[in-house]
A and B are shown apart, each in its own frame.
Chain A
């Protein structure tokens, strides 16, 4: 019982790191970016390539798994995405679905369609019996990393100059620009960090949720659930939504395996019917 709760929390934390970039671009910048999972996949593949081909230790690959998608994100944002900020949602959906298709086929071509395996260091393997539950060491590691990230993000967003500039740019880009804030640079940085975090999530999650070329499609709905159910007014909403989703998914799969994914899909639909703007939306 507690083991399931623990696994669920680890899964939920991971989902949050994967999806928080999306909750910023989609929630704050109002850009429907269905290709978010592609950046996560990029991070995962960076880690597997570095580990399996060049023998780089796992921990040392994580910064690369953050940086590579971040650079990729900035490049795409500067060249393609920024042209679409003011376009209709349908255009954004079509554009990002196109990117997903391209990413899936390209990775399939370059890396093959088989799932990628990584071997985590021995000191992260195994489980420890705490009196009430079995605690996976790797999962504790994931939880710790994600918790640090969550706290850092929240502090950056609420306490720093950059955070307030971002919030200002989102609330009213024109006025923010008038006040001398370089809005497009802020958006580009945010996009880069969001993509980088997704990549980091992909690298951390390669062991837990697997990694293959269909990753962006498989997790698309999960990301969207986190953002829509969590609401878009703060980071707290998506964070709680990720935790609920993680626990519900793991518990659902454990207790009623026959019902499969029903649990979370129905949960999501019910929530969105009663709270169309998300579970934790404040009145905006």
Chain B
């Protein structure tokens, strides 16, 4: 799948790397939600996690052009690893994150070789197959994962030995926000590095990239592994903050939701995943309020309309609105 290059591709890359004012505003706004919206910490935590997950999908979809219908495989694996560690006495949050990232990266590395071959369609089917395979494994290994009842009894130790995870999700939100921020900065470095540029070259034209000496396959393996590790961390965060893991983390709708988040926010644009996560969660909340049981209908409608209108146009329009709103907020504050 040749994702169309984002609007910014034409500009000088050093300009793309430069830190912009709007980015500071974005992260300040994110930090402000911690103090300004204390009643919404649980929802915000979820947004931060989905944002990180979407960021990870964007690394392979937007920057490497690999379409995946099974990204939830890594998310779910990270969640189960962190959850199991917590259940069996290793409740240190950072240890859980590292283990989740490591195991997901290993799975990503192993399955990346399946993704290298074949067309878009083969990739879609293979990624979907891997996710379903893991889902089935988690379902069957009920002695380990709790099966359909979910993994219960996860206990997470205080963060850095000092901050307890409280009932209102204060610690959890701060923790998720900081982890997402740090990983975002790392991803920003990665995509703007020479390595990141060569990955984008592969996306735009694998044949020519190979001709100018880019080792196409090893680049794809590397970015796929990194994205898997990111997804694993997002999953681990979910397991630690909710202290519960269910089969739901590996389900198809996880992969579809995160795809939707990336697409709403904009493909091939690191902030796209984060913004898309905010939109997705708000949409879900609104739709669930309208028709509790049938909100997937509206999500489906959003997808269909988004594609028919044209993703680029819809996203650009939304971005304009956001920019205007942010501008107003900056002026009034």
Chain A interface (Cβ within 8 Å of chain B)? 26, 32, 80, 83-84, 87-91, 93-95, 97-106, 108-109, 217, 220-221, 224-225, 227-228, 258-262, 265-266, 268-269, 272-273, 276-277
Complex alpha-carbon distance, A220 and B300, angstroms: 16
Complex alpha-carbon distance, A258 and B67, angstroms: 31
Complex alpha-carbon distance, A96 and B49, angstroms: 26
Q: In chain B between 243 and 266, which residues have their CB closer than 8 angstroms to a CB of chain A? A: 252, 256, 259-260, 263
Residues of chain A within 8 A of B311, CB atoms compared: 91, 94
Residues of chain A within 8 A of B136, CB atoms compared: 260-262, 265
A95, B133: Cβ atoms closer than 8 Å: no
Interface residues contributed by chain B, number (CB under 8 Å) = 48
A102, B114: Cβ atoms closer than 8 Å: no
Binary flags per residue of B111-145, CB closer than 8 Å to A gives 1, else 0: 00110011111101110111011001101100000
Complex alpha-carbon distance, A217 and B137, angstroms: 19
Complex alpha-carbon distance, A84 and B310, angstroms: 10
Which single member of B1, B117, B129 contacts A268 (CB below 8 Å)?
A: B129
Least CB distance, A225 to chain B, in whole angstroms? 7
Residues of chain A within 8 A of B126, CB atoms compared: 269, 272-273
Least CB distance, A95 to chain B, in whole angstroms? 4
Interface residue SS majority, chain B: helix
Residues of chain A within 8 A of B288, CB atoms compared: none
Specify which of B4, B69, B140, B297 lies most central, judged by the most chain A CB atoms within 10 Å of its CB.
B297
Which single member of B4, B124, B132, B293 contacts A261 (CB below 8 Å)?
A: B132
Nearest to A84 among chain B residues (CB) is: B307
Residues of chain A within 8 A of B267, CB atoms compared: 90
A101, B3: Cβ atoms closer than 8 Å: no
Given A261-B136, A276-B117, verify A99-B300 contact (CB < 8 Å): yes
Complex alpha-carbon distance, A237 and B125, angstroms: 17
Report 24 cross-chain contacts, Cβ distance below 8 Å, ordered by A residue. Answer: A32-B120, A32-B121, A83-B308, A87-B307, A90-B1, A93-B67, A94-B260, A95-B304, A95-B307, A95-B308, A98-B302, A101-B297, A101-B300, A101-B303, A102-B296, A105-B294, A105-B296, A105-B297, A106-B294, A221-B128, A228-B122, A269-B114, A272-B122, A276-B118
Question: Other CB < 8 Å A-B pairs besides A221-B129, A272-B122, 13 of them?
Answer: A89-B121, A91-B311, A94-B306, A95-B308, A98-B303, A98-B307, A101-B256, A106-B294, A221-B128, A224-B125, A261-B133, A272-B114, A276-B118
Least CB distance, A228 to chain B, in whole angstroms? 5
A89, B259: Cβ atoms closer than 8 Å: no
Residues of chain B within 8 A of A221, CB atoms compared: 125, 128-129, 132
Cβ-based interface call for B33 (8 A):
no
Nearest to A274 among chain B residues (CB) is: B117
Nearest to A224 among chain B residues (CB) is: B125
Given A97-B303, A99-B304, A228-B121, verify A273-B114 contact (CB < 8 Å): yes
Residues of chain A within 8 A of B214, CB atoms compared: none
Residues of chain A within 8 A of B300, CB atoms compared: 97-103, 105
Residues of chain A within 8 A of B256, CB atoms compared: 97, 101
A265, B133: Cβ atoms closer than 8 Å: yes
Cβ-based interface call for B106 (8 A):
no
Specify which of B121, B139, B304 lies most central, judged by the most chain A CB atoms within 10 Å of its CB.
B121
Complex alpha-carbon distance, A121 and B116, angstroms: 50
A224, B297: Cβ atoms closer than 8 Å: no
A108, B294: Cβ atoms closer than 8 Å: yes
A93, B301: Cβ atoms closer than 8 Å: no
Least CB distance, A34 to chain B, in whole angstroms? 9
Specify which of A98, A108, A109 lies most central, judged by the most chain B CB atoms within 10 Å of its CB.
A98
Nearest to A108 among chain B residues (CB) is: B294
A273, B3: Cβ atoms closer than 8 Å: no
Q: In chain B between 1 and 29, which residues have their CB closer than 8 angstroms to a CB of chain A? A: 1-4
Cβ-based interface call for B222 (8 A):
no
Least CB distance, A266 to chain B, in whole angstroms? 7
